[in-house]
Amino acid sequence: MAQRNTWQRERVREALADARGFVSAQSLHATLRDENTGIGLATVYRALAGLAAQGGADSLQSPDGEALYRACASTGHHHHLICRSCGLTVEIEASDVEQWAKRTAESHGFSAAEHIVDIFGLCATCSAEHGAPAAGMKDVEERDAD
């Protein structure tokens, strides 16, 4: 592996720590590009995957299948509540889910079971702004403009 890319990885890690909530590799790359770091998108992808593998970042799939990352202070197993409008993320414990997952896995003869459970929605602030009813939420399209 290319050791000379260490500073780039470090820069990606910093950018992730500065980002609010979960971000995609693309949006992080856009931020770094604005700062003229010269860090390529492929490097951002690799750095994020490396961070996630080492436990320095949380990763999850957005509802539309995009990988999202977040610098995460908590280590160990946990879940997230994520606002799909503003990106606010709350780390949650879900002991009900832990027990259900364990029970379900065991009842099917599975061992060493793992699970990923994240809840996407609109936070209280965004719900108020959007006047959103709980049902029939429409997807908010907020792609980076450039």
Q: Is 117 exposed, middle or buried (0-12, 13-18, 19+ CB in 10 A)?
A: middle
The answer to whether 25 touches 44, Cβ cutoff 8 Å, is yes
Query: Near Zn ion by CB under 5 A, which window of 39-47, 76-84, 104-112, 134-142?
Result: 76-84
Nearest CA-CA partner of 122 in 84, 90, 93: 84
Q: Which is nearer to Zn ion, 10 or 91 (CB)?
A: 91
Which own/partner contact pairs does 126-135 have at CB distance under 8 Å and 24+ positions apart?
126/83, 126/85, 126/86, 126/88, 130/85
* Among residues 86, 105, 132, 137, the one that binds Zn ion under rule CB under 5 A: 86
Q: How far is the CB of 11 from Zn ion (least distance, A)?
A: 22
How many other CB atoms sit within 10 Å of the CB of residue 111?
A: 6
58 binds Zn ion (CB under 5 A): yes
Name the one range near Zn ion by CB under 5 A: 34-42, 45-53, 115-123, 133-141: 115-123
- Per CB under 5 A, the segment of 1-9, 38-46, 92-100, 135-143 that binds Zn ion is 92-100
Piece of the chain touching Zn ion by CB under 5 A; list 19-27, 28-36, 45-53, 117-125: 117-125
What are the residue ranges of helices labelled H in 4-113? 6-18, 25-34, 41-54, 95-107
- The CA distance from 65 to 114, in Å, is 19
Shortest separation between residue 71's beta carbon and Zn ion, angstroms: 9
Q: Which is nearer to Zn ion, 142 or 144 (CB)?
A: 142
Q: Does 52 bind Zn ion (CB under 5 A)?
A: no
**Interacting residue ranges for Zn ion, rule: CB under 5 A:** 58, 72, 83, 85-86, 88, 91, 97-98, 123, 126
